[in-house]
Amino acid sequence: MPAFETAPLSRMGDAKISDAIRDNGPSSPTPERPFAVTLDFPSGSLTPSNRIFVRKLSDMARLFEDQEAVTRTLGSGEDPLIYVGRYAAVPERPGNLAFLTTTMAPGAVGSEFYMTKGHHHVQDSGEVYLGLSGEGIMVMESREGDFAYEALTPSVAVYVPPRWAHRTVNTGTEPLVFLATYFAGAGHDYGSIERTGFSRRVYRGASGPEVRPPLPAGGAGQ
Ligand code: M6P
Ligand code: ZN
């Protein structure tokens, strides 16, 4: 008899039914209930949110190609806000789907557009991004070295398969706002991106964004 057949279960009483449900997965320290959040697309505000993180230039200084521009900016006492993340209150454990908005300022370091740090998932698993406001590009690179990119604009959803590192870049003049959802137990691995980077970066070119490898010293980003 299938475990999900309802008639016999309904005769087992409340306690038995809740035991059966608990046996289907890891036990929850607190009961989880469905909930809804409200999104403001232009700002990325997500209400209610239980965790907000902020990344400034100083938090990701080594990731930009133009280190002279980074030093100049930080040396002048400026530490621009690059992006803010706002999480919905989903416990970070396997079986759950984490989701959050990210709001990224427009701007560039040298000629390289503002971007997220970029990461692999510790436990290889996919992710879906949905553009809410602004104009951006997602760059993605697999552990095997394949590279891909997609535009991220309002009403566009981008799928990131397992084993693909991902980074989002604001190529517009307004904040880039997007929603992302992923396996809550995935974990963020920043180390490999910090060590090797992506093979291509996104630059402000004369006639629009350029997705390409860094030029030899003295070229792009100087
Ligand atoms: C998306 C998701 C988050 C991630 C955020 C910022 O919203 O992928 O998991 O934290 O972008 O990206 P990063 O962590 O690489 O800075
Ligand atoms: Zn991710």
User: Residues, the chain, total?
Assistant: 222
Tens digits of residue pLDDT in 180-211: 999 999 999 999 999 999 999 999 999 999 99
- What residue's CA is closest to ligand 1, atom 1? 180
What residues line ligand 1, using a CB cutoff of 6 Å? Answer: 85, 100, 102, 116-119, 127, 180, 188
Residue 204: its pLDDT value, please?
Answer: 98
Is beta strand 97-104 parallel, antiparallel or unpaired with respect to 176-183?
Answer: antiparallel
- Among the atoms of ligand 1, which is closest to the Cα of residue 180? 7
Tens digits of residue pLDDT in 72-92: 999 999 999 999 999 999 988
Q: How far is the CA of 212 from the centre of ligand 1 (A)?
A: 22
- What residue's CA is closest to ligand 1, atom 2? 180
> What is the pLDDT of the chain when averaged over all its residues?
87
**What are 180's two structure tokens?**
């992302």
Q: How far is the CA of 118 from the centre of ligand 1 (A)?
A: 7
Confidence of residue 220 (pLDDT cuts 50, 70, 90): very low
Q: How far is the CA of 168 from the centre of ligand 1 (A)?
A: 8
37 versus 221: the higher-pLDDT residue is: 37
Tens digits of residue pLDDT in 109-121: 999 999 999 999 9
Q: Is the pLDDT reported for residue 11 higher than 80? A: no
Residue 218: its pLDDT value, please?
Answer: 53
pTM higher than the cut 0.75: yes
Q: How far is the CA of 21 from the centre of ligand 2 (A)?
A: 29
Domains belonging to the chain, first-starting first, are 39-212 (2.60.120.10)
148: three-class secondary structure by DSSP: strand
- Among the atoms of ligand 1, which is closest to the Cα of residue 178? 7
Mean pLDDT of 2-17: 37
The DSSP code sequence of 156-174 is: -EEEE-TTEEEEEEE-SSS
Q: Is the pLDDT reported for residue 135 higher than 90? A: yes
Residue 215: its pLDDT value, please?
Answer: 82
Residue 30: its pLDDT value, please?
Answer: 62
Tens digits of residue pLDDT in 13-48: 343 333 333 333 444 456 688 999 999 999 999 999
**What are 68's two structure tokens?**
């002279």
- Positive or negative, the CA dihedral 33, 38, 44, 46 is negative
CA atoms within 13 A on the CB side of 39: 21
Residue 55: its pLDDT value, please?
Answer: 98
Residue 21: its pLDDT value, please?
Answer: 36
- Measured CA to CA, the distance from residue 16 to residue 27 in angstroms comes to 15
CB atoms within 5 A of ion ligand 2 belong to: 127
Confidence of residue 1 (pLDDT cuts 50, 70, 90): very low
